[in-house]
Amino acid sequence: MSSEIINIENKTKFLDLYKENINLIRNGSPDYINKIREKAILVFEKLGIPDKKNENYKYTDLKKEFENGFKTYLSPKNIKFDIKDIFSCDVPDLNTKVILLLNGWYYDRENPLQELPGGVIIGSFQKAMEIYPELVKKHFAKYADIEKDGLVALNTAFVKDGIFLYVPKGVVVEKPIQIINVLMDEEEGFTSHRNLYILEENSQASVVVCDHTLSATNFLTNSVAEFYIGPNAQFDYSRIQNEHNGSKQVSHLFFHQERDSRVTDSTISLHGGLIRNNVSAHLNGEGCENNTYGLYLTDKGQHIDNFVFIDHAKPNCVSSQLFKGVLDDFATGAFNGRILVRKDAQKTQAYQANNNILLTDDVDIKTRPQLEIYADDVKCSHGATVGQLDENALFYLRARGIPKKEAKLLLMYAFAFEVIQKIKVPALKERITDLVEKRLRGELSRCNSCQMHCCNP
């Protein structure tokens, strides 16, 4: 495996990088992908990297991050490590094998695609483009709109590898599939994986994703995932973000839901220097249910920005957003929840809540609901709160003998619990309960059992 390390700084650098390495980038990708790639780089040239003048990015300064001079590699770099030796983030009782991405590349190069019972396929997106062109062609770049966001265009222009999951019609994958995104290198790295999940009609699956940094170097990630959720299919997607302060990430999730499908997407942001999560769901058939949840525990100058867009295109769909956060010690954050109810989407129910607890007065959160409703028979609600811990509750606990520090933890945990409660996989719920408790106590350094302590300086 060759390794290509290139310094990148800003838009021009990305464009030069593309031009100078066009063969390497195109190499191994089918023509239909390379065509989309070419279109995407033109769009990127036009849009560039969003700055704070961009209405959708006004609370997160990405320009600064992208100018930082990270390095990227256009083919997988050979980094050897034994997963078991350094790290076990595995949640007990989840699916047999842990799927690993290392710096955005599928780790197991020997077995890039696996078939699970029922014809389920999981593995490397790069390999899937080659082996399953019909499947990929049908869905790739169909839901992630390159015209709306320069970063999505950038990811598409450089598309190489990531996760591919295919669940055929009527198949139920009983145990959750666990995916770990590991960042590890001696050099500051820019990664941009691309993921495609296809759930055919009546199928069911759940996926757990952990984002981790395993070396103390700085990282910048710009990832895109597209999800096709067929008629009456059911999909649970849970993410745990646990990266160190030198790690910055922008993720873009695009859910495309057909009639009667159900999606629950939960993101638990435990740690990370800068996290920007874009989640968009297009409810493209009647009777869809979409639940988008988030919990963020942010401190020590970290930044969290959740940007949600729920597009009610058809009647009789229900969407719920619940985002809760605890901010401490110079943390900053934003929540933007946009709900679009199109003219035909009668009988829509769309709910949104964002609740924040600020532990110190040096923190800052911006919360912004955006409702655009063009149908007349709809039920929509939104509410945002920004406040401190309930003093009355705190006194009540202390008056029973519980020390102040412990009482605060109980209340913070209780606050977070509303989101944790929504996680459906019991083993994962337990694990997250534990991680959140440790995080709130300040005892968490990466995943529990990890030997490295890169987030504690």
Partner 1 sequence: MLSIKNLHANIDGKEILKGINLEVKEGEVHAIMGPNGSGKSTLASVLAGRDLFTVTEGKVTYLGHDLLELSPEERASEGIFLGFQYPIEIPGVSMVNFMKTALNEQRKHKGLEPLSSSDFLKHMREKKELVELDTNLTNRSVNEGFSGGEKKKNEIFQMAMLEPKLAILDETDSGLDIDALRIVANGVNKLKTPKNASIVITHYQRLLDYIIPDYVHVLYDGKIIKSGGKELAFELEEKGYDWLKKGVAV
Contact positions vs partner 1 (CB under 8 A)? 390-393, 395-404, 406-407, 410-411, 413-418
Contact 102, 256 (CB under 8 A): no
- Nearer to partner 1 (CB atom), residue 163 or residue 412: 412
**Cβ atoms 65, 220 nearer than 8 A:** yes
CB of 305 to partner 1, least distance (A): 25
For the chain, the farthest-separated pair of C-alpha atoms sits apart, in whole angstroms, at 70
- For the bound state, the minimum distance from the C-beta of residue 361 to partner 1, rounded and expressed in Å, comes to 18
Residues in the chain: 457
Cβ-based neighbours of 82, under 8 Å, separated by 6 or more: none
Q: What residue type is assigned to position 186 of the chain?
A: E
Strands 194-199 and 163-167: parallel
The one-character DSSP state at 172 is B
CB of 439 to partner 1, least distance (A): 16
Nearer to partner 1, 100 or 402 (CB): 402
Residue whose CB is less far from partner 1, 81 or 396: 396
* Helix-then-strand count for the chain, H and E: 11, 23
Query: Phi first, then psi: what are they for 216, rounded to 5°?
Result: -80, 0
Rounded (10°) CA dihedral 82, 100, 247, 409: -90
Nearer to partner 1, 109 or 404 (CB): 404
- Closer residue to partner 1 in complex, CB, 64/404: 404
Nearer to partner 1, 13 or 398 (CB): 398
- In angstroms, the Cα distances linking 439 to 271, 347, 354, 444, 454 are 9, 41, 21, 5, 15
Based on CB atoms, which residue is closest to partner 1, 6 or 402?
402
Strand-pair partners of 321:
292, 352
Closest separation in Å from C-beta 294 to partner 1 = 17
Is the Cβ of residue 372 or residue 406 nearer to partner 1 in the bound state?
406
> Could you tell me if 163 and 106 are in contact, meaning their C-beta atoms sit under 8 angstroms apart?
yes
Task: Name, in order, each residue with C-beta under 8 angstroms of 71's C-beta and a sequence gap of 6 or more.
Answer: 5, 6, 7, 8, 187, 188, 189, 190
Task: Provide, rounded to whole angstroms, the least separation between the CB of residue 401 and partner 1.
Answer: 4
